[in-house]
Structure formats: structure tokens, C-alpha cells
């Protein structure tokens, strides 16, 4: 069901509050560049600092605007509390999301058995697909392929993983186990697709959705010569967008392009001057500034 380019949207703020009008404009921009779908309230969307009411509102706005534009909508509903993740996932289903994206529980660092029970509980609480999100750099825990495969075997609505583990062995093994894999690292999308991933949840596509889509389409068609050219074209930008903690660089870049205020909520703040120049230079090198 999930194949192609999914943009992990930033959550725009204006004077501290959620800017729904700007968010709808960002979604329309994605639709014009023909991405497959959008992800609301992921890490890039600053989920840790949204209130529950804001979380609900952002997902509802994404579903309304995204579906109107013909996009699939994944809702970020992960938590290190299983009960909270269930509550957020049920809301996303009621709102009309096509799937929920659920990150490994962070900080409390569950065992593999704990991960299995956590995600099984979420999957049993909703009827829509649950996309697993493996990102040890954020959560300090890695879900093994064996655990993911066990979940896929036991839960009909678990088939897909967003893989941000940065480990091609894990990607290869997940594909071999029958899981649908989406890259969670922009700079690794092409090599991950070479071993069987079928798309990406992208940060870079907030500003270059057409370029990311073309790369994914080339790889899906088996045209890795063209894919490599596209990969090299955006590689510097992809690296610059992680020069500091995501979403600091992407929001800074979007502000430079006058597509976002650049506002973030503490504890996130503006980048260091040297890193701001890295971001500006990457935008210039790709012809955006």
C-alpha cells in the first residue's frame, strides 16, 4: 500500500501557535510536485512539544487538506506510553488518516518483548495500518527484524517499517522477511532502494519534493544510473539538513526560502551561525537561493 515519496512535514508556527493556513499551503505545494503522501506530526513536525489538542488539530488539518489534494496521509502517533499511543492512533483513525506512524518507545528503552507487546496493542486498537518506525538515534532502542517479522505475522495491519537505523544489513534482512521498507534517511534512500526499499519518508522533500520523487521513481524503475545522478544532486542538501538536530535545519532552510517563519519551540532553537551558513550554501548550490 505504501510506496513512493512521503514528505515528513514541518509544523508551521506563527507567534507561538500552529499556523493552519500555512500548513495547508505546504500540503498544496507537495501535491503540485506529485508526491505520494505526507506524514503529519512526526519528529520533523515537532511532535514532542505539541499539546494533545494541537496534535489532534494538526492531524485533522493534514487529513482534510491532504485528501482534498489526493495525497495519502500518515499520522505520527508514537509515544513511550502505550496508552497514549493507542489514544492518539484512535484519534487519527477517526480523523480519517490512511495509516499511523508509530516510533519505538523512547527513554524507557523496552526489551524486544516489550516492543512487541507495545505495537501489538496499538495494532489491535485500530483497523488502519500501523507503520513501525525504527530510529535508534532518537530512541536509544533498535527493533530487531525478528520482532518486526513477528508483529507482521501476528497483526494483519502491520506490514511496513520506516527504517532510519542507518544499517543496510537491517534493511536487507527486513526486505527478505517480507516487510515493506521505506527509507527514513534522505541521504541513504538510493542505497536502501537498491536492496529493496520501495520509497522514503523524506525531510528534504519539504523543499525539493520533485527532486526526491524523481529519485524514488528512477529507483523503482530500476534506473540506478539516473537515480545516482539525482542522488548526487541533492546529497549535499540532505547532509546540510542534518547539520543540527532535525527539524532545526529544515525550518531554517524554509525560512530562508520564505516558506515558513522558522519558528521552533524550546528546547529547539535557531542554528549556530556557522551551521546557518552551511544550510544557506547548500540551498545556493542546488539553485534554490
Contact 286, 237 (CB under 8 A): yes
Pick from 69, 71, 132: nearest CA to 100? 132
pLDDT exceeds 90 at position 1 = no
The mean pLDDT value for 122-127 works out to 98
The mean pLDDT value for 141-156 works out to 97
The pLDDT of residue 159? 97
CATH topology of domain 4-223: TIM Barrel (3.20.20)
What phi-psi label fits residue 181: left (phi over 0), alpha (psi between -120 and 50 degrees) or beta?
beta
- What's 66's DSSP letter? H
Which residues are the active-site residues? Answer: 133, 162
The Cα 276–Cα 271 span in angstroms is 6
Contact 237, 189 (CB under 8 A): no
The Cα 261–Cα 209 span in angstroms is 19
The Cα 232–Cα 137 span in angstroms is 24
pLDDT exceeds 90 at position 42 = yes
- Domain boundaries in the chain? 4-223
Going by pLDDT thresholds of 50, 70 and 90, the confidence category of residue 97 is very high
The mean pLDDT value for 153-163 works out to 98
Amino acid at each position: 500500500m505504501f510506496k513512493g515519496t512521503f514528505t515528513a512535514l514541518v509544523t508551521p508556527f506563527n507567534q507561538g501557535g500552529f499556523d493552519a493556513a500555512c500548513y495547508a499551503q505546504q500540503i498544496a505545494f507537495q501535491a503540485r510536485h506529485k508526491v505520494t503522501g505526507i506524514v503529519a506530526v512526526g519528529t520533523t513536525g515537532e511532535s514532542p512539544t505539541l499539546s494533545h489538542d494541537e496534535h489532534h488539530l494538526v492531524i485533522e488539518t493534514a487529513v482534510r487538506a491532504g485528501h482534498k489534494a489526493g495525497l495519502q496521509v500518515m499520522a505520527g502517533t508514537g509515544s513511550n506510553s502505550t496508552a497514549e499511543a493507542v489514544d492518539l492512533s484512535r484519534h487519527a483513525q477517526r480523523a480519517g488518516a490512511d495509516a499511523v506512524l508509530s516510533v519505538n518507545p523512547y527513554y524507557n528503552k523496552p526489551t524486544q518483548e516489550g516492543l512487541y507487546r507495545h505495537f501489538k496493542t496499538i495494532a489491535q486498537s485500530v483497523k488502519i495500518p500501523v507503520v513501525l518506525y525504527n530510529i535508534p538515534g532518537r530512541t536509544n532502542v533498535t527493533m530487531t527484524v525478528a520482532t518486526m517479522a513477528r508483529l507482521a505475522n501476528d497483526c494483519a495491519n502491520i506490514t511496513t517499517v520506516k527504517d532510519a537505523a542507518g544499517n543496510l544489513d537491517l534493511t536487507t534482512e527486513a526486505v527478505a522477511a517480507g516487510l515493506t521498507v521505506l527509507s527514513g534517511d534522505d541521504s541513504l534512500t538510493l542505497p536502501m532502494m537498491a536492496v529493496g526499499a520501495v520509497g522514503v519518508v523524506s525531510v528534504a522533500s519539504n523543499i525539493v519534493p520533485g527532486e526526491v520523487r524523481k529519485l524514488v521513481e528512477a529507483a523503482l524503475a530500476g534506473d540506478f544510473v539516473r537515480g545516482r545522478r539525482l542522488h548526487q544532486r541533492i546529497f549535499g542538501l540532505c547532509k546540510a539538513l542534518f547539520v543540527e538536530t532535525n527539524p532545526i535545519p529544515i525550518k531554517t532552510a524554509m525560512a530562508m526560502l520564505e516558506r515558513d517563519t522558522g519558528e521552533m519551540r524550546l528546547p529547539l532553537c535557531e542554528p549556530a551561525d556557522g551551521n546557518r551558513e552551511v544550510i544557506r550554501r547548500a540551498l545556493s548550490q542546488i539553485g534554490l537561493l
